[in-house]
Structure 1
Amino acid sequence: MSIRTNVINLTEFRNARTGPPKRSEPESGLMLGKGLTDQTMIDLIKKFSNPVSERDYRNRALLNLMYLTALRAKEIVSLKFSDLFLAPSGETLISYTKKGGKLAFAVIAEETLFFIREYHSTFEGDHAYFFLSLPRGNQKERSNLSTRGLQLIVNSWNVKTCSNKLIHPHSLRHTAASKLMDLAGSIAVQKLLNHSSPNTSSLFYTKPYFNASKFISWE
């Protein structure tokens, strides 16, 4: 048997044992593709900018709150007016229970609060929660929106993520984080998402590519 044949057989043996080389995870951008494009966000905001029905007002308020706070679905449906308070800086904050059961805080922008109150002006009664279910038939009773209900609402907006998946509540969390990473860096994203470290935020949302065509030209 020739030396060449031995080398080929050894290579085949190694491939049979180890299989094809595995793809390693990228060093950054682990959440790449899970959010929405800038144009999709612009289109969604425009779509809900002139609400008419209660459903429209709720959609506008939900979208605004979700992309400005990046809260999880379970956190969003738990928000109550009684948990609002002012920060020393004058910003409106809300306390909520984050993933893991610990207390956390989010800034509620003036625009967001205005949209939520306009939404509540479309029906009667005082309600504790920010977001409510629609009444069924001729009934007037409402309950606070469930996590599943929120998922169905966001699904109904019928837009796709960068990776061509149907939008869901967490898509807006990824969208907000990606945008904020570009504008303000990993510490801002860490604070927004309540990550334990800015390194985690950087690993998830730093783009693993760079568009040199915006800068390089010999024309």
Structure 2
Amino acid sequence: MNWNSYIKSFQSYLKIERGLSKNTVANYTFDLERLTKFLLENEIAISPEKISEETIQQFIYAVSKEVNARSQARIISGLKSFFSYLIFEDYRTDNPMELIEAPKTGRKLPDTLSLEDIDNLIAAIDLSKPEGERNRAMLETLYGCGLRVSEIITLKISDLFFDEGFIKITGKGNKQRFVPIAKATQKYIELYKNAGRNHLDVVKGFEDTLFLNRRGKQLTRAMVFTIVKELAVKINLQKSISPHTLRHSFATHLLENGADLRSIQMMLGHESITTTEIYVHLDRKHLTQIINKFHPRKT
């Protein structure tokens, strides 16, 4: 078996047995392909079964000159998973990553937008264009429900339970959750469905996909990123933002207005509340107000 065969086998394991998303599997694959490229360029002919800790250390040292600490940590994590899989399948008896430590990255606080920024962003959408209603509904849903970009592009019409006030989201690892949706957001989705989507020639297989491109197919992640970035330029927003910024803003604004972390965790679909706790660090002023309001020795 060569490296490609092992990688394909690993991909199947990640998808079928661990239920990881396409994006996560793609990231793992990219990092393994980076390792195989390094071996090829340095004329190191060795199989995944025989590769040593020293060789991997050489690879990580080479990579450290090209990527930041956060990317290094991701690469090391991915390689550890790969070699753990090889042990699981009895291809190896040891993990050459066992003593290799990832660099300390710290916790990066996400960028957020003010409510005024979000209003300006959405107001900048040209509703006279065919895609205008779609883009407004999409941004309102990203912010109103705190969705990941992968979740917005795969959202189905059959996942909309407006009478109950919820939408069903399929998140990372195909885990499903129900997220509340406000009446205002429902209204923009209905406007898009009636004023824009109904006039498209929908390609077979995408009849149930909510947000479609002009050709009647599912939107790509890249297209959603482009839409958000172009709107940011249009309003001269002095921040580098992405669709994920709307998700961060959703969580931050809920916390600032008194929502509890556990509820935010459930809506975001975070497996661990530790991930959600990052939002506590975003607004020190809010924390001061909490102390002044609720602590028995506030005066």
Superposed pair shares fold, TM > 0.5 = yes
Tell me the secondary structure at the aligned position of residue 116 of structure 1.
Answer: helix
RMSD of aligned residue pairs (Cα, Å): 3.1
Alignment correspondent of 2:77: none
Matches within 5 A, 1:129-140: 129-135=209-215
Give distance in 1, aligned partners of 2:275 and 2:226.
Answer: 29
Identify which of 225, 236, 249 aligns with 1:151: 225
Tell me the CA shift for residue 130 of structure 1.
1.5
Alignment correspondent of 1:191: 266
Q: AA paired with 2:114?
A: T
Q: Work out which structure has the larger RCO, using CA pairs closer than 8 Å and 6 or more positions apart in sequence.
A: 1
Give distance in 2, aligned partners of 1:164 and 1:182.
Answer: 23
Give distance in 2, aligned partners of 1:24 and 1:124.
Answer: 46
* TM-score for both structures, normalised by structure 2: 0.51
Tell me the CA shift for residue 208 of structure 1.
5.6
Q: Is 2:252 the counterpart of 1:178?
A: yes
Matches within 5 A, 1:118-137: 118-120=191-193, 121-122=195-196, 123-124=199-200, 127-135=207-215
Q: AA paired with 2:138?
A: L
Identify which of 105, 108, 115 aligns with 1:38: 115
Tell me the secondary structure at the aligned position of residue 147 of structure 2.
Answer: coil
Alignment correspondent of 1:66: 142
Identity across matched positions, percent: 30
Q: Say if 1:207 and 1:83 are closer, same or farther in 2 by CA, change over 3 A.
A: closer
Q: How many residues align?
A: 176
Give yes or no for contact 1:159–1:167 (8 Å, CA) kept in 2: no
Structure 1: give runs of 5+ residues left out of the alignment: 1-22, 136-141
Q: Say if 1:39 and 1:186 are closer, same or farther in 2 by CA, change over 3 A.
A: same
Give distance in 2, aligned partners of 1:82 and 1:155.
Answer: 29
Give yes or no for contact 1:84–1:93 (8 Å, CA) kept in 2: yes
Alignment correspondent of 1:16: none
Tell me the secondary structure at the aligned position of residue 253 of structure 2.
Answer: helix
